[in-house]
Structure 1
């Protein structure tokens, strides 16, 4: 549903989410399922308001982070039109919010249910729009003019003047992918949130990960509604606990009533005691994930506090208290602007329960590898070059799997492919390909010969297997994993290919 290659552009991703699967349930609000079509109608109204107010791409619209469809629709309207949504906590003091809005020079403002627009209008005379959507002409389609990639902004902290953080589309994509991988999110999952949704970073990134994975975000309060839900039958239901008071309000009695109704729990923003860890584990048959923010649980390390200077291709700078290192294949630490394997570690937190360390696993090394190829530039901005499954070393060069797949699709007789690495030692890899073939098998050697004339020899697959067609996810994406290692390809044998058997992931 995200085009198969990630959230490279927030505007295009949002539009595809609204249009590609019209009947898909994106949200549950007030006990009612909200389809992509119904949500699209609400987003179109907010887009009409943005257009009528004359808000241009790259201008900021502040949106109160509340438990309702209105807030989420306003965020997606900003995505579609290239405006920058700024999620803020509506519980903050109005004067504090006004100071923050003024420092960012916002152009639009979608307030919470209990906030007064007049107060902010008197303090922000340059404000173009106060979130009105009555009588506007709905707007659909993709806006041609928008910030390349797009940004998502949010507040952090409720004491004093909170800080404003921003995230590029590359950052949102990495965060979502990390949560999907670490929480093993699958299509059809449900994500619930305790307490107020006014923790913008936790809500916004869990929302993006859930929708990207093909799931549904439940906006209803879980305190009572969760107990009425049917028990799980192979489905996923995740409870995100992101309020400091959750440990008190979600006690053992309440959690144990949810036994069989939760597949996993994600705990953020408060330290876990050993006794409460035991309570959480008792409430679910799945994994309990813990971290001091959704970002940490996802392995997402990058934030930026200086809007306007973040390169859009970068995922940002490291979080305070974290250390990023780029390693070469032989284990040496690399310098700036050198691509390699991304690893990180967080500063020790003595209050953190050792039995529930990062990603729910004991760490034997101070560094955790993310599974990404990356580099850090001279200004400490982090760039993700690709996943280790899609980017690998061959003959001393970095090889992109997608580049080879594109070449295969353009070769005579080959319709599609999945390319991955088979590691033959610590530094080198063999290139393997599973292909679907439109012609006769005996002409496969001819197709490979054409491929060799178009790409360097070291990029031509050395292992090859053939299937009739690729399996697809419910959102239409090609399934890329679960193939057995293909056999060595011998051109002289012409038809020396076999169908791969599905087994463990490569």
Structure 2
């Protein structure tokens, strides 16, 4: 596919950098870089890649969260290639899987080299290395993607091994052109790059500021995992746009309240990545942490380029939301959302259906998995074009407003009953004094299965007997947890999502 200036992230950035050369583009705990300096670093990386890669090729990106990281991303894009993020904090086995699955011939790294990688060039803090075993052009291990691909990000799911989602430059720019004007952000805004580059939320955090003359504060991994430190960083840097997964936001709110941190500069908080918890939003409002900040829920999917819907949150919106549901609002202008039954037919208003997403943000499928791509990226044959079948349930009210209702694969079957864990978790969070909750199916030493609830609460103030009485008022007997465990905080993954594996362990 032939791409034009308007289609490419790196070329749009170059135009912005030319107009804002002296302005701060990125900063971290160690310093800052101007738009001109970031542009120079991108050029250096692209120069070292020249002749070694190009359109339709993939380059692995294994870098720490520093002010230099955006330069590596831009350099790969400027070389014509697409990047495959490999978080250096991931376990070695997962890193190796991502590298093998993507078949990258080259790696850009500031985090050392792995076995079989040989340095061939250096650009600023980065080295460019070849990967032995990736094979010559056309060998089975080498992946080809469409020439306009910007990145391939792997996403986990219920289907087993992580799968690489192929996303193009045009799909990213369609998102930004549609969503940034809704936020009303621009060159005077300060964003954080909080999430790993291996999580697609980072795409929004990078280009939301950098393609509009803004400033990105890169949050290192250690600070991102310490909510109190992160809260102080937000205050000291005058951050105006914050993007958070709800699990991380819950921890941030608790620590900001405990430390009496105030964020008067904050104007926007954007949620994504998992279901919103209304109680957390109300707690934030009541605390007065950021009195001028608008809170916005943006449901999204990696396969449809980060964000799909836009929903400003107000007390009235939350009051009108049924328990166990999350307000999603309406589709972004470049996308369409329809709710459909198992046969692909639209369901009436008020009925639960699967979210199908169409429009210019829909990705190019799964890398090297044509069968799975055909199952999830479909054309319903009604003239509406190609859609992505999300596997998420939602309902629409009479005004067309969307409400998330859970995952198709979020159900468990226990003793013959189908149980939605999200419904139990919503009931747990409704117990006064419980600030966070999760529920899992766990195995007993005798081999049978039961429900275990995990709550963030003071055991003395909210004893298990109180929790059980409250649940019994809302849930049938087969949905009652057999065990209740108390935690200081719910564990989260590198991406800020609830870490159910850590709970299970």
TM-score, normalisation: structure 1: 0.52
- Deviation digits for residues 269-302 of structure 1 (CA, Å, limit 9, x no counterpart): 2323222011233433232112444423564652
Give 1:111 shift.
3.6
User: Are residue 165 (structure 1) and residue 177 (structure 2) matched?
Assistant: no
Distance in 1 (CA, whole Å) between partners of 2:189 and 2:33 is 15
The 1:168/1:308 distance shift into structure 2, 3 A limit, reads farther
Counterparts of residues 287-298 of structure 1 (less than 5 Å): 287-293=294-300, 294-297=306-309
The 1:102/1:136 distance shift into structure 2, 3 A limit, reads closer
Distance in 2 (CA, whole Å) between partners of 1:286 and 1:6 is 35
Unaligned runs of 5+ in 2: 129-144, 301-305, 311-331, 336-356, 404-505
Verify the 8 A CA contact 1:188 1:215 in the aligned structure 2: yes
Give 1:37 shift.
1.5
Q: Give the aligned length.
A: 318
Give 1:337 shift.
6.3
Verify the 8 A CA contact 2:7 2:170 in the aligned structure 1: yes
Give 1:61 shift.
0.8
Question: In structure 2, which of residues 293, 311, 315 is the aligned counterpart of residue 286 of structure 1?
Answer: 293
Distance in 2 (CA, whole Å) between partners of 1:161 and 1:131 is 32
Question: In structure 2, which of residues 58, 71, 79 is the aligned counterpart of residue 81 of structure 1?
Answer: 79
The 1:228/1:207 distance shift into structure 2, 3 A limit, reads closer
Determine the structure 2 residue equivalent to 1:216. Answer: 215
Distance in 1 (CA, whole Å) between partners of 2:282 and 2:109 is 39
Verify the 8 A CA contact 1:65 1:199 in the aligned structure 2: no
Give 1:171 shift.
0.3
Distance in 1 (CA, whole Å) between partners of 2:122 and 2:100 is 20
Aligned CA-pair RMSD: 4.5
Determine the structure 2 residue equivalent to 1:303. Answer: 363
Determine the structure 1 residue equivalent to 2:493. Answer: none
- Deviation digits for residues 316-343 of structure 1 (CA, Å, limit 9, x no counterpart): x9996x9999xxxxxxx962569xxx99
The 1:100/1:151 distance shift into structure 2, 3 A limit, reads same
Distance in 2 (CA, whole Å) between partners of 1:227 and 1:175 is 31
Distance in 1 (CA, whole Å) between partners of 2:393 and 2:16 is 39
Verify the 8 A CA contact 2:110 2:125 in the aligned structure 1: no
Determine the structure 1 residue equivalent to 2:31. Answer: 32
Determine the structure 1 residue equivalent to 2:123. Answer: 133
Distance in 2 (CA, whole Å) between partners of 1:158 and 1:241 is 20
SS of 2:41's equivalent in the other structure is: helix
The 1:29/1:84 distance shift into structure 2, 3 A limit, reads same
Give 1:230 shift.
6.6
Determine the structure 2 residue equivalent to 1:118. Answer: 114
Question: In structure 1, which of residues 254, 274, 279 is the aligned counterpart of residue 278 of structure 2?
Answer: 274
Give 1:169 shift.
1.4
Determine the structure 2 residue equivalent to 1:265. Answer: 269
Counterparts of residues 51-450 of structure 1 (less than 5 Å): 51=50, 54-64=52-62, 66-111=64-109, 113=111, 116-119=112-115, 121=117, 132-133=122-123, 149-157=148-156, 161-194=161-194, 196-220=195-219, 221=223, 223-224=228-229, 227=232, 237-242=240-245, 244-251=247-254, 253=257, 257-281=261-285, 282-284=288-290, 285-293=292-300, 294-297=306-309, 299=332, 301=357, 302-307=362-367, 335-336=383-384, 347-348=392-393, 364-365=399-400
Give 1:229 shift.
6.4
Give 1:56 shift.
3.1
Give 1:203 shift.
0.6
Give 1:261 shift.
2.7
Distance in 1 (CA, whole Å) between partners of 2:280 and 2:401 is 26
- Deviation digits for residues 375-424 of structure 1 (CA, Å, limit 9, x no counterpart): xxxxxxxxxxxxxxxxxxxxxxxxxxxxxxxxxxxxxxxxxxxxxxxxxx
SS of 2:99's equivalent in the other structure is: helix
User: Which structure carries more strand by proportion?
Assistant: 2
Verify the 8 A CA contact 2:84 2:102 in the aligned structure 1: no
Determine the structure 1 residue equivalent to 2:477. Answer: none
Unaligned runs of 5+ in 1: 122-127, 139-145, 311-316, 326-332, 351-356, 369-506
Distance in 1 (CA, whole Å) between partners of 2:252 and 2:12 is 37
The 1:244/1:132 distance shift into structure 2, 3 A limit, reads farther
The 1:148/1:110 distance shift into structure 2, 3 A limit, reads closer
Verify the 8 A CA contact 1:153 1:166 in the aligned structure 2: yes
Distance in 2 (CA, whole Å) between partners of 1:244 and 1:133 is 37
Verify the 8 A CA contact 2:379 2:385 in the aligned structure 1: no
Distance in 1 (CA, whole Å) between partners of 2:107 and 2:391 is 36
TM-score, normalisation: structure 2: 0.52
Give 1:19 shift.
3.4
Give 1:349 shift.
5.0
